[in-house]
């Protein structure tokens, strides 16, 4: 059984994504544990960046959000336009189609297309925490994506949780902790979703019930 997988392949920068907005005032009036932002994807006008091209697409799909990646070694990510400092971000995600060697998950402290943190899993049971800084991409605390039995493989849904609190970045998959790293590069930014392909194209991921809480 593998305990590591292929090295992280550089993200392909997607131009024209929304720039960071001023911090949401709800962060300052919400009690710890309270909801800062939530979306069940029932309203296509709720602000998420949408995109459609031969290389892939990001759009609402029924009452979910779908990211389809049809180009090898490529990623798409989308944000709803809300910036925060410390957050706990959660989402339900499932592979709709495409290869099990994929990557998908959450984004926090997104400042622009060249600066943000990401928390990803693959449909064959691997996970990673990393960042893009000044266009340079790297996993944090690990050289390669690592295997975890917490990840439900195949088309089974996974509940993902990313805690970005101070300089601590924690990742939970299906209510089990899988990774914890420290990094002080970014202290605030947008939250969002990401999906990408390694060598196989046609990665197709559905996301639902995106929630952002004050930790």
Question: What is the per-residue pLDDT for 17?
Answer: 36
HEC sequence for 34-98: CEEEEECCCCCCCCCCCEEECCEEEEEECCEEEEEECCCCEEEEECCCCEECCEEEEEEEEEEEC
Find out whether 123 and 154 touch, Cβ atoms under 8 Å.
Answer: yes
Q: What is the pLDDT of residues 41-52, one digit of tens each?
A: 999 999 999 999
Q: What is the pLDDT of residues 80-122, one digit of tens each?
A: 999 999 999 999 999 999 999 999 999 999 999 999 999 999 9
Q: What is the pLDDT of residues 127-184, one digit of tens each?
A: 999 999 999 889 999 999 999 999 999 999 999 999 999 999 999 999 999 999 999 9
Set out the domains of the chain in order of their start, with CATH numbers. Answer: 4-13+47-213 (2.60.120.560)
Question: pTM of whole model > 0.75?
Answer: yes
Q: How far apart are CA 45 and CA 27, in angstroms?
A: 23
Residue 102 structure tokens: 């994929």
Residue 199 structure tokens: 């060598």
């Amino acid at each position: 059984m593998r305990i590591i997988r292929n090295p992280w392949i550089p993200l392909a920068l997607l131009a024209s994504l929304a720039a960071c907005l001023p911090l949401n005032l709800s962060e300052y009036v919400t009690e710890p544990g309270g909801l800062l932002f939530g979306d069940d994807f029932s309203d296509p006008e709720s602000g998420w960046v949408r995109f459609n091209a031969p290389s892939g697409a990001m759009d609402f799909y029924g009452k979910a959000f779908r990211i389809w990646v049809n180009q090898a070694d490529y990623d798409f990510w989308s944000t709803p336009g809300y910036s925060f400092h410390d957050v706990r971000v959660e989402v339900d995600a499932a592979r709709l189609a495409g290869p099990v060697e994929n990557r998908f998950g959450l984004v926090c402290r997104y400042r622009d297309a060249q600066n943000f943190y990401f928390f990803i899993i693959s449909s064959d049971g691997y996970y990673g925490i990393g960042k893009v800084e000044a266009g340079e991409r790297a996993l944090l605390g690990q050289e390669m994506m690592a295997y975890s039995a917490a990840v439900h493989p195949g088309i089974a849904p996974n509940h993902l949780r990313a805690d970005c609190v101070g300089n601590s970045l924690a990742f939970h998959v299906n209510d089990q902790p899988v990774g914890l790293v420290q990094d002080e590069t970014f202290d605030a930014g947008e939250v969002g979703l990401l999906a990408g392909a390694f060598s196989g194209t046609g990665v197709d991921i559905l996301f639902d019930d995106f929630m952002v809480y004050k930790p």
